[in-house]
Chain A
């Protein structure tokens, strides 16, 4: 990272540090560019992985979730509101139609242990690791 030398000439020697801290704050949890729709956040736990996605206006029965090995797919459809033929649209920022997004999970999950629910337009999927893939603790025996 290059900083112009004039930054050091200021009275506050901590300004650079604060500024750098701000940059790190943005670099770490800041959103990455979405690789498709919907954008996802991935949460990791020791025995499970959670995937959240914002799907406002999508009915729960219009969401189709499938999982195969480490590939999780969220597909669905958002139905456009009925407005009548003579209605005039002043603004159309929302997207409608079908979508499909696949996410590679950090481990193989048990397809029978995938939970999904929608709350206030936010989808949350929790997928558990296969029991045979769980890390095992190995005891070290004294010789």
Chain B
């Protein structure tokens, strides 16, 4: 599985990755863990400030695009005095191989972390063939 479009930007510091979106906020590339087990692949993306309803997952031509829209209101009657991190939206895309059951991709958002589960397609699962005595 490979990153699409954002791959060229990897290696840059996180703050430099921000591009501007149409709604005038920066777009960050979420930090991602990808782990593969026997039954499939799990992708975990950090998208702090994004509510479960503000995540968009799109699969088109084997390209899985994940977008998150952050909705963190500024603390009321406060002025930002010092900033170490920028707030904004998130976007990252991955190219999937054929071996996943693309119809059964499941996603769950919890505490700012999106977990996407890609089950392995039946055809791609290792199969044991029993040998019967003749």
Contact = CB atoms under 8 A, between A and B. Distances in A.
Contacts of A83: 35, 37, 42
Contacts of A120: 48-51, 72, 111-112
Contacts of B41: 90
A41 B75 CA distance: 11
Contacts of A90: 1, 34-36, 41
B37 A42 contact: no
Contact of A44 (B46, B81, B86): B81
A141 interface: no
A54 B112 contact: yes
B33 A29 contact: no
Interface of B: 1, 15, 31-38, 41-42, 44, 46-51, 72, 74-75, 77-86, 110-113
A39 B28 CA distance: 15
B36 A88 contact: yes
A9 interface: no
Interface in A35-61: 35, 39-46, 48-50, 52, 54-59
Contacts, number: 133
Interface string A72-113: 000000000101101111111110000000000010000000
Nearest to A123: B48
Nearest to B74: A43
B48 A30 contact: no
A91 B82 CA distance: 32
B120 to A, nearest CB: 13
25 contacts: A30-B15, A31-B84, A32-B82, A40-B82, A40-B84, A49-B78, A50-B78, A54-B85, A55-B48, A56-B111, A57-B111, A57-B113, A58-B111, A59-B111, A81-B35, A83-B35, A83-B37, A89-B34, A90-B1, A120-B49, A120-B50, A120-B111, A121-B47, A121-B112, A121-B113
A114 interface: no
Interface residues of A, number: 45
B111 A45 contact: no
A43 B44 contact: no
Contacts of B78: 43-45, 48-50
